[in-house]
Structure 1
Amino acid sequence: MTRIAIVTDSTAYLSNDYIETNQITVVPLSVNFGSDTRREGVEIHTREFWDMLPGVKELPTTSQPAVGEFVQAFEKLLQTHDSIIGIFISSGLSGTFNAAKTASGMVEGDITVIDSKLTSYPLEAMVGEAVTMRDEGKSKEEIIDRIQYIVDNQTAYFIVDSLEHLHKGGRISGVSALVGSLLQVKPVLYVTKEGKLDVFDKVRTRRKALDRILDLFREDKAANAGKPVHLAVIYSNNLDDAKEFQERIGNEFPDVNPELSELGPVIGTHVGPGILAIAYYFG
């Protein structure tokens, strides 16, 4: 049987047990507190990050892995595997995918890298499906086709407590951040097909923003009637809110079994605490 290695980055937020059990290689991004740089999932973990954040004077920044880290990981894996599938955070949100792509051209071997166009739960789900198919003995081409299907058919909508983190991190325009601050608008944000953040709609309250998100999901679900739904409620240091939203979705859509997915240090740096989102795909 052809041995296929699966590689991802730390923003998939996989548990250590899952990583070890399924032999996944994770190349971490980093969070920078001034000159103090810590690798996500290695030198800083989710709970520690959220505990630290209120006490920092300046918002932390993030950095992608160096090309050399991917070269090293790929070369090591190809000593024991026939091929590699790498699935990474959206190139519209981070330079991680491009670094992995560059590294794949520097290493001799069968390496395919995929831009997930998202992060967090969708990236986790892609890795999970790749693992399942690998363990079922599916070919590399079959796995890649399935992952690309998810990339092309995924959707994510979310709201944040404050646009400050997105604005300071350069992930949203200054005008949008200013409007949100002055008018107390709660924008419904989404990730475009190109994998970049944008404003989908603007509503006046958090409750109405959540209503709008569920209306959008309802429309998509009707358009994909009969297909299985893969959906998660994504949150950042607001588990009670996430559970309440999860319960609401479960009550309104009895055939949907929403998962919970917490953002860690790198994505948390850019969105801040209090995010609520749904990410999903059908089929």
Structure 2
Amino acid sequence: MKKIAFVTDSTAYLTDEQAKRFDISVVPLSVIFPDAAYREGVDLSNAAFYEKLHKSSSLPSTSQPPVGEFVSVFERLLVDHDVVMCLLLSSNLSGTLRSAETAASMVKGDVVIVDSKIASYGIAGPLLDGIEMARQGATTEQIQAYWEERREQMHARFLVDTLEYLHKGGRIGGAAAIVGALLQIKPILTVIDGKIELHEKVRTHKRALDKILADFDEHASQGRPIRLGVIHAERLDDAEKVYEQLTSKYSNVYAELCELGPVVGAHTGPGLLALVWYEGDEALLKAQFNR
């Protein structure tokens, strides 16, 4: 059996406990304010980032990890692992994957790189599933196939307080042309083929949230195992309410609360609330959630 090392980037928003417990190497992206660049999860906490964001007179930018950062991680891991498996931020949102691919071509050893075509829990959930699969004896080919299958089955719905951050950061994909028309409404956004797109236009926040919950109910009510991330940016109270509502309603839902960090938060702004979910493997989920 091959000894597998797992790598992701900081936009998976794993907790420190998860990264340590499962021995995951996390390569940080950076957020850049006028005063300095900060490595996500290393130089700047989530709370400090949002405080700076509120006070900043200009919107921050972000940057992918340098190739050398990935080279260092890969070389270190390949000393005592047979293969390195990486699940990374959508290549349509960042050059992170390209940096990793370049680094992989520069090291001696087996490095498998998979584009998640999403961010946040869309990376974290399948990554943690893959680690459990490896623990149970799965091959690298089986884990890669699982990641690619879940990528195509991923569902994302999210609300933002304003489209200003996504528009100015160039991350809103095909919805950019109608930004002006959307300024007075609450758009529900999604991720399609790794790009942020408009899902639906709704007039109020309550209606938008109700629509997101209805979309989720459509899948969860079928009874199949669902892995769910309830994600927020400075909306912990709302996220906790949604989490409690859905986990108490559905015994087949395996959910986690997640906070959005600096790099993705720089493009969405504060006030985001999102659901990211996919149909999971019941045995894998029960093993991870101790059910």
TM-score by length of structure 2 reads 0.90
Do structure 1's residue 177 and structure 2's residue 176 form an aligned pair?
no
Question: What is residue 275 of structure 2 aligned with on the other side?
Answer: 278
The Cα of 1:35 is off from its aligned counterpart by 4.8
Quick one: structure 1 residues 46 and 204, their matched pair in 2 at CA, closer, same or farther if it must change by over 3 Å?
Answer: same
Gaps of 5+ in 2: 281-291
- In structure 2, how many angstroms separate the alpha carbons of the residues matched to 1:19 and 1:255? 26
- In structure 2, how many angstroms separate the alpha carbons of the residues matched to 1:21 and 1:36? 31
- The equivalences for 1:185-200 within 5 A come to 185-192=185-192, 194-200=193-199
Q: Is the 8 A contact 2:130 2:147 kept in 1?
A: yes
CA deviations over 1:131-189 (Å, ceiling 9, x no partner): 212222322112112222211211101110111111111112554321122xx211110
- In structure 2, how many angstroms separate the alpha carbons of the residues matched to 1:61 and 1:7? 24
TM-score by length of structure 1 reads 0.93
Size of the aligned set, in residue pairs, is 278
The Cα of 1:260 is off from its aligned counterpart by 1.0
Gaps of 5+ in 1: none
Quick one: structure 1 residues 138 and 257, their matched pair in 2 at CA, closer, same or farther if it must change by over 3 Å?
Answer: closer
- The equivalences for 1:42-191 within 5 A come to 42-172=42-172, 173-181=175-183, 184-191=184-191
Q: Which amino acid aligns with 2:161?
A: D
Do structure 1's residue 37 and structure 2's residue 34 form an aligned pair?
no
**Matched residues, percent identical?**
44
Q: Which amino acid aligns with 2:241?
A: E
The Cα of 1:77 is off from its aligned counterpart by 1.2
- The equivalences for 1:175-254 within 5 A come to 175-181=177-183, 184-192=184-192, 194-221=193-220, 225-250=222-247, 252-253=249-250
The Cα of 1:254 is off from its aligned counterpart by 5.2
Q: Alignment partner of 2:253: what SS?
A: coil
Q: Which amino acid aligns with 1:152?
A: E
The Cα of 1:93 is off from its aligned counterpart by 1.1
Q: Which amino acid aligns with 2:46?
A: T
- In structure 2, how many angstroms separate the alpha carbons of the residues matched to 1:42 and 1:125? 22
Deviation above 4 Å: which 4+ runs of structure 1? none
Q: Alignment partner of 1:258: what SS?
A: strand
- In structure 2, how many angstroms separate the alpha carbons of the residues matched to 1:133 and 1:249? 26
**Which deviates more from structure 2 when the two are superposed, residues 273-282 or residues 139-148?**
139-148
CA deviations over 1:15-64 (Å, ceiling 9, x no partner): 22221222111110001012501100111111111222211111111000
Quick one: structure 1 residues 2 and 28, their matched pair in 2 at CA, closer, same or farther if it must change by over 3 Å?
Answer: same
Quick one: structure 1 residues 256 and 18, their matched pair in 2 at CA, closer, same or farther if it must change by over 3 Å?
Answer: closer
Q: Which amino acid aligns with 1:272?
A: G
- In structure 2, how many angstroms separate the alpha carbons of the residues matched to 1:260 and 1:16? 14
CA RMSD of aligned residues (A): 1.6
- In structure 2, how many angstroms separate the alpha carbons of the residues matched to 1:174 and 1:281? 27
Quick one: structure 1 residues 221 and 25, their matched pair in 2 at CA, closer, same or farther if it must change by over 3 Å?
Answer: same
Quick one: structure 1 residues 248 and 58, their matched pair in 2 at CA, closer, same or farther if it must change by over 3 Å?
Answer: same
Q: Which amino acid aligns with 2:181?
A: V
The Cα of 1:220 is off from its aligned counterpart by 3.2
- In structure 2, how many angstroms separate the alpha carbons of the residues matched to 1:247 and 1:133? 28
**Which deviates more from structure 2 when the two are superposed, residues 48-57 or residues 159-168?**
48-57
**Which deviates more from structure 2 when the two are superposed, residues 262-271 or residues 100-109?**
100-109
**Which deviates more from structure 2 when the two are superposed, residues 48-57 or residues 243-252?**
243-252
- In structure 2, how many angstroms separate the alpha carbons of the residues matched to 1:136 and 1:218? 31
